[in-house]
Amino acid sequence: MSSISLPTYKPADFASGQDVRWCPGCGDYAILAAVKKVLASRDVPKEKYVFVSGIGCSSRFPYYLDTYGIHGIHGRAPAIATGVRCANPDLEVWVITGDGDGLSIGGNHMMHAIRRNMDMKILLFNNRIYGLTKGQYSPTSEQHKKTKSTPMGSIDTPIQPTGFVLGCGATFVARATDVNRGGVNVLPEVLLAAADHRGTAFVEIYQDCNVFNHRAFFYATEKETAKETTVHVKHGKPYIFGNNNDKAIAINRCGAIEVVNVRDVSPDELLVHDEADRCRAFMLTQMRYPEYPEPMGVIYRESQPTYHDLLWAQINEAKEEHGEGTLEDLFSEGSTWVVE
Amino acid sequence: MVSDAASSSTPTHQDLQSVAIRFCGDSGDGMQFAGTEFTNTSVMFGNEVVTFPDYPAEIRAPLGTTYGVSGFQIQFSSSEIYTPGDNVQVLIAMNPAGLKVNIEDVEPGGIVIVNKDAFTPGNVKKAGYTDNPLKDGSLAHYHVCKVPVTRLTKESLVDSGMGGKAIGQAKNMFMLGLVYWLYDRSLEQTIRALTEFFGEKKKKPRVAEMNVAALKAGYFFGETAELFPVRYRVSRAKQEPGTYRKIAGNQATALGLITAAQLAKKPLFYGSYPITPASDILHALSTYKHFGVKTVQLEDEIAAMCSLIGASFAGDIAVTATSGPGMALKTEAIGLGVIMELPMVIVNVQRAGPSTGLPTKTEQSDLLQAVHGRNAETPLIVLAARGPGDCFTTAIESVRLALKYMTPVVMLTDGYIANGAGPWRIPDPADLLPIEVAHPTERNHEIDGKPVYAPYLRDEHLARPWALPGTPGLEHRIGGLEKMDVSGDVSYDAENHQHMVDARAAKIAKAADDFPPIELNGRDTGDVLLVGWGGTFGAIYTAAQRLVDEGHRVTSIHLRHLNPLPNGLGDILRGFKKVVVPELNRGQLRMLLRAEYLVDAIGINKVQGRPFLVSELVDRVKEILSED
Ligand code: SF4
């Protein structure tokens, strides 16, 4: 009896052998390791993966994976990935981008890939700074931030990535941190859920740039604070957090969200996470440290037809209606006449 | 010679070799439709036909103004013709503004048919006339027919039950019917088109009936009103035997692309963003999904170009079309295509610039952009189509070269040939050569005794292999950073960069070995060689013929291959005392020829958003011949 043997991989099988050139201590290393682990855990042969990136520190990512890959141009990875996706529906397309690449120069492509529900994973490494160009503020940098290009402080209002993509109609929105030295590291679970999602899966990953913006997310990743500043969201579970698991999110009498002590309210007053609730998801994306804990995990998920499902459906429909086109048909359609 | 509907004589037939006729009116008057239908009828009849639609950029420009005038010129002939004609023998003017803008181009003694009802004092003034030109004697040199088209259309449709507005819109069909009568043409083709368009497609059978009624009314009016002393006949042209259809340039490009994909047995991916005058290619291709054509309308020009990078990497025939401003936006991604050495075709339907320029008018001013308009040393192949039907051939050759040399190819057309139409002899699919494409399935190289896939190991044409995602063992990563020769790994090595820049240039230069020899229209020595490219073919070819007929030692060549330039061009240039380069720009090919061959080429340059007239080329070449 023959059986189809599924590949069994170790994370190391996904290493390309190229020297990894990120700065020592960069958060990208942890993300690369987590991605390799997730890829190795799936029943997908590695030749099916195409990693596409733009420009920036994070965009070097495809070089370090032994899959197919395109290191594209600044901001355009979603558009390039759109071409890959439409050409071959059997591939698994992952986009690696950063806060500058994906939200500044590439914001437009991000918006449209998402609204089309293009079947691809988009991992946005948010380090709230421009690393590769050596330290200018980015679209996610906090206001008043002093950087090389803003000696008096940035006057820009930052963009909120998860809120933005929800507004674009994203069908999967999640957030994680590169490392977690305090609470649960949700990155593996989030990456796996993204990998299995059909449609655009957007994952924001808080990433430490330890050269130009070190400690930007330490509030969310360090032992002392992680449990107090983040909440691990799980479908069907209340939003409980805190060093002693004693805090939760509830809606007060005025309809506003507030942080409560679990002992002060009855369990049925606690808000419970519902992945399929878009309004709730938007509310979650607006919860910012220090007023609120920041949600980590799968914030929103729904199932919708993907762009290429619809694209192929139209092609098949046309073939059914007109039959497979031939050159004879093509040339002689419309009015023709014969010269003897 | 002004005749009114009342004058009477018995019409007889007079045979003509060719006629140029121009329909004009407000951009809402349906002149493009009338012109297109006259074209269809003429090609179906068996005439040679060249058309020149010319319309304002505004969809509905202000009524009655001279800048809102839309025109459609067509020359139909019983012998070979290559241009829509310098002047017209017949002008159909639906309003005073149309008359004002176009009367200059009517030959003395030519026929001018006007809709008399549109010549109200208000319209006359709006067109910039002080007095009504139908009354002030200024048209004495023409045979003017003043037809109350508005009133007659209304009267003929009184029983149609349609509203006044709908009836008003059938004026163009009344006028067309009249012109059909004058040239002894059958109404059959247009009746069918009206029935299909209004009846079947728009599901408005009553509108179809009304238009057919107006068309017939116009025809019968011609028959009974005896406006013209004679009717004219332009007999069938001698054409090569075969089956023919009418084709416009953009349509031919679309067909060529689909054909190329079929010849290569690969899916066609078309990623684009709408832009005048290229959008018709997108419209056409989007109706061919049953050929497996994937048309994706991206969010912008940049995304469109980037989608080609991805689609090509994954194995599709990747194509986009745009016009100058879009080309500018695509530039960075085209550079990525060049360094990744991926096959793709970028069609640029040129229009007048700079910037937004004159979106609906033609020009040839993107040649240097196509050849050189990218950062760094970024060579690619550039081809140009010479006429509507030639877009088909050029599109196939563009795809063939892109695949063979693993490179982006720019195919230049322009607004004039994209919208212009002519008869097209349908090729036999069996005569079209298949396009060979191979994708490696095995590792192609060894490094340190280990088999590897080397994405930049070049073949005899210096092209690299095209391994597709999904192929086990050939996983590789490429992108915009300079790569190591052979292995494709990122490399900052100085010598390697020099080698790779040179290799990319050598590869493109080598493509010239694939080009067919240059065809000479005339002898290989003489006083003047006219060198043209693109949509000016008809005017240059006809001008050269005319000059030769007048006894001048003139030859013309028309380049399809603009980068690399074809082999043997330098020798041809040296066979002539003078090299003259007519272009609808300020001398872009001339600059390339001067740089490449150190030849003191002379330009004939025009940038008016209009094609060359044969006469202006002939006159200028005569001047050049007389200068010494
Ligand atoms: S600059 Fe920052 S983000 Fe870039 S590699 Fe270094 S540490 Fe990482």
Structural domain total, chain A: 2
Assigned domain for B369 exists: yes
Assigned domain for B584 exists: yes
Co-location of A21 and A133 in the same domain = yes
CB B165 within 8 A of CB B157: no
Q: What is the structure's pLDDT at B62?
A: 82
Beta strands B69-77 and B88-93, pairing class: unpaired
Q: What is the structure's pLDDT at B5?
A: 41
Strand partners, A71: A53, B479
Which tokens hold the place of B600? 């003191």
Assigned domain for A262 exists: yes
List, in sequence order, every beta strand (DSSP E) within chain A: 49-53, 68-71, 92-98, 121-126, 172-177, 201-206, 230-233, 247-251, 257-261, 294-301, 336-339
Ligand 1 atom 3: residue of nearest CA: A209
- CA A147/CA A153 separation, integer angstroms: 7
List, in sequence order, every beta strand (DSSP E) within A242-310: 247-251, 257-261, 294-301
Assigned domain for A176 exists: yes
The answer to whether residue B469 neighbours chain A at the CB level (below 8 Å) is: yes
The answer to whether residue B450 neighbours chain A at the CB level (below 8 Å) is: no
Residue B324 has pLDDT above 50, yes or no: yes
Ligand 1 atom 1: residue of nearest CA: A131
Task: Flag if A72 and B309 touch (Cβ within 8 Å).
Answer: yes
Co-location of A127 and A245 in the same domain = no
pLDDT band at B104 (very low <50, low <70, confident <90, very high): very high
Q: Which residues of B touch A9 (CB under 8 A)?
A: none
Q: How many CB atoms lie within 10 A of CB B155?
A: 12
The average pLDDT across A262-281 equals 94
Co-location of B474 and B554 in the same domain = no
Co-location of A181 and A248 in the same domain = no
- CA B547/CA B623 separation, integer angstroms: 12
Please state the length of chain A. Answer: 340
Assigned domain for A191 exists: yes
| Interface test with chain A among B296, B306, B450, by most A beta carbons within 10 Å | B306
SS3 B230: strand
Task: Flag if B309 and A80 touch (Cβ within 8 Å).
Answer: yes
Ligand 1 atom 2: residue of nearest CA: A209
Ligand 1 atom 8: residue of nearest CA: A26
Co-location of B267 and B214 in the same domain = no
- CA B471/CA A304 separation, integer angstroms: 29
Co-location of A222 and A192 in the same domain = yes
Assigned domain for B439 exists: no
pLDDT band at B2 (very low <50, low <70, confident <90, very high): very low
Report B:388-447 residues touching A (Cβ under 8 A).
426-427, 429, 432
A28 in contact with ligand 1, CB cutoff 6 A: yes
Least confident span in B187-201, B332-346, B546-560, B569-583: B187-201
Q: What is the structure's pLDDT at A5?
A: 64
Assigned domain for B53 exists: yes
Q: Which residues of A touch B311 (CB under 8 A)?
A: 83-84, 86-87
Report B:232-291 residues touching A (Cβ under 8 A).
239-246, 255, 258-259, 262, 267, 269, 271, 288-291
Co-location of B178 and B261 in the same domain = no
CB B582 within 8 A of CB B601: no
Taking the mean position of all CA atoms in its chain, how far away is CA B383?
14
Distance A200 CA to ligand 1 centre (A): 26
Please list, residue by residue across B529-561, b when 16 or more beta carbons sit within 10 angstroms of its beta carbon and e when fewer do: bbbbbbbbbbbbbbbbbbbbeeebbbbbbbbbb
- Name the packing angle between helices B171-182 and B205-225 (round to 10°): 40
The average pLDDT across B115-120 equals 96
* Positive or negative torsion for Cα B427, B430, B436, B439: positive
pLDDT band at B55 (very low <50, low <70, confident <90, very high): confident
- CA B191/CA B205 separation, integer angstroms: 12
* Positive or negative torsion for Cα B425, B430, B433, B434: positive
Q: Which residues of B touch A311 (CB under 8 A)?
A: 294, 296
Please list, residue by residue across A13-52, b when 16 or more beta carbons sit within 10 angstroms of its beta carbon and e when fewer do: ebebeeeeebeeebbbbbbbebbbbbbbebeeebbbbbbb
In degrees, rounded to 5, the angle at the alpha carbon of residue B515 between the alpha carbons of residues B512 and B520 is: 115
The answer to whether residue B455 neighbours chain A at the CB level (below 8 Å) is: no
DSSP-H helix ranges across B4-61? 31-45
CB B236 within 8 A of CB B46: yes
User: Which of B208, B215, B379, B324 has the alpha carbon at shortest distance from B607?
Assistant: B324
Q: What is the structure's pLDDT at B8?
A: 42
CB B65 within 8 A of CB B87: no
Co-location of A166 and A80 in the same domain = yes
Q: What is the structure's pLDDT at B168?
A: 86
Co-location of A255 and A131 in the same domain = no
- CA B143/CA B590 separation, integer angstroms: 43
Query: Which of B1-15, B101-115, B224-238 ranks highest by mean pLDDT?
Result: B101-115
Instruction: Render pLDDT for B206-220 as a digit per residue (tens, 0 to 9).
Output: 999 999 999 999 999
Show Cβ contacts of residue A146 under 8 Å, excluding neighbours closer than 6 positions: A152, A153, A154
Strand partners, B51: B74
Closest partner residue to A83 (CB to CB) among B269, B470, B481 is B269
- CA A258/CA B408 separation, integer angstroms: 57
Least confident span in A93-97, A181-185, B503-507: A181-185
Percent share of chain A, pLDDT over 70: 98
Co-location of B142 and B81 in the same domain = yes
Q: Which domain holds residue A243?
A: 239-272
Q: What is the structure's pLDDT at B429?
A: 96
Q: What is the structure's pLDDT at B17?
A: 92
Q: Which residues of B touch A36 (CB under 8 A)?
A: none
DSSP-H helix ranges across B83-120? 96-102
Task: Flag if A109 and B306 touch (Cβ within 8 Å).
Answer: yes
Residue B163 has pLDDT above 90, yes or no: no
H/E stretch holding B502: helix B494-510
Q: What is the structure's pLDDT at A182?
A: 86
What's chain B's average pLDDT? 94
- CA A214/CA A115 separation, integer angstroms: 33
Q: How many CB atoms lie within 10 A of CB B19?
A: 23
Co-location of B211 and B323 in the same domain = no
A22 in contact with ligand 1, CB cutoff 6 A: yes
Residue B85 has pLDDT above 70, yes or no: yes
Domain finish residue from B398, B431, B464 = B431
Q: Which 8-state DSSP code applies to residue A57?
A: S
| Interface test with chain A among B190, B300, B344, B475, by most A beta carbons within 10 Å | B475
Ligand 1 atom 5: residue of nearest CA: A22
Report B:63-102 residues touching A (Cβ under 8 A).
none
Q: What amino acid occupies position B7? A: S
Closest partner residue to B44 (CB to CB) among A62, A84, A337 is A337
Residue A183 has pLDDT above 70, yes or no: yes
Q: How many CB atoms lie within 10 A of CB B396?
A: 23
Least confident span in A114-123, B154-163, B448-457: B154-163
The average pLDDT across A91-102 equals 98
The average pLDDT across A9-22 equals 94
Residue B3 has pLDDT above 80, yes or no: no
Instruction: Render pLDDT for A222-239 as a digit per residue (tens, 0 to 9).
Output: 999 999 999 999 999 999
DSSP-H helix ranges across A149-231? 161-167, 187-196, 218-221, 226-229
Percent share of chain B, pLDDT over 70: 98
Residue A34 has pLDDT above 90, yes or no: yes
CATH number (domain holding residue A217): 3.40.50.970
Q: What is the structure's pLDDT at B7?
A: 40
pLDDT band at B181 (very low <50, low <70, confident <90, very high): very high
pTM above threshold 0.80: yes
Helix, strand, coil % in chain A, rounded to nearest 5:
35, 20, 45
The atom number, within ligand 1, closest to the CA of A212 reads 2
Q: Which domain holds residue B318?
A: 246-431
- CA A181/CA B609 separation, integer angstroms: 67
Closest partner residue to B469 (CB to CB) among A91, A318, A319 is A91
- CA B505/CA B482 separation, integer angstroms: 15
Task: Flag if B241 and A339 touch (Cβ within 8 Å).
Answer: yes
- CA B106/CA B87 separation, integer angstroms: 6
CB A20 within 8 A of CB A26: no
Co-location of B426 and B458 in the same domain = no
Q: What is the structure's pLDDT at A42?
A: 96
Please list, residue by residue across A171-191, b when 16 or more beta carbons sit within 10 angstroms of its beta carbon and e when fewer do: bbbbbbbbbbebbebbbbbbb
pLDDT band at A6 (very low <50, low <70, confident <90, very high): low
Assigned domain for A169 exists: yes
Q: What are phi and psi of A320, to 5 degrees?
A: -65, -40
Task: Flag if A319 and B289 touch (Cβ within 8 Å).
Answer: yes
Co-location of B495 and B567 in the same domain = no
CATH number (domain holding residue B77): 3.40.920.10
Please list, residue by residue across B316-336, b when 16 or more beta carbons sit within 10 angstroms of its beta carbon and e when fewer do: bbbbbbbbbbbbbbbbbbbbb
Assigned domain for A63 exists: yes
Show Cβ contacts of residue B288 under 8 Å, excluding neighbours closer than 6 positions: A325, A330, B254, B258
Task: Flag if B245 and A332 touch (Cβ within 8 Å).
Answer: yes
Show Cβ contacts of residue B145 under 8 Å, excluding neighbours closer than 6 positions: B3, B5, B111, B112, B113, B114, B227, B228
CB B438 within 8 A of CB B463: no
| Interface test with chain A among B200, B313, B443, B450, by most A beta carbons within 10 Å | B313
Count contacts between A and B (CB, < 8 Å).
Answer: 217
Q: What amino acid occupies position B410? A: V
What's chain A's average pLDDT? 95
Least confident span in A112-116, B202-206, B490-494, B505-509: B202-206
Exposure of B30 in the CB half-sphere (CA atoms within 13 A): 16
Residue B59 has pLDDT above 90, yes or no: no
Assigned domain for A179 exists: yes
**DSSP-derived secondary structure for B376-427:** SS---EEEE--STTHHHHHHHHHHHHHHHHTSEEEEEEEHHHHH-EEEEEPP
Co-location of A139 and A254 in the same domain = no
Closest partner residue to B426 (CB to CB) among A18, A68, A336 is A336
CATH number (domain holding residue B275): 3.40.50.970
Domain finish residue from B234, B255, B270 = B234
- Name the packing angle between helices B301-313 and A107-115 (round to 10°): 70
Residue B385 has pLDDT above 70, yes or no: yes
Co-location of B195 and B313 in the same domain = no
A210 in contact with ligand 1, CB cutoff 6 A: yes
- CA A124/CA B524 separation, integer angstroms: 63
pLDDT band at B16 (very low <50, low <70, confident <90, very high): very high
Task: Flag if A80 and B255 touch (Cβ within 8 Å).
Answer: no
Strand partners, A205: A125, A176
Co-location of A227 and A191 in the same domain = yes
Co-location of A55 and A116 in the same domain = yes
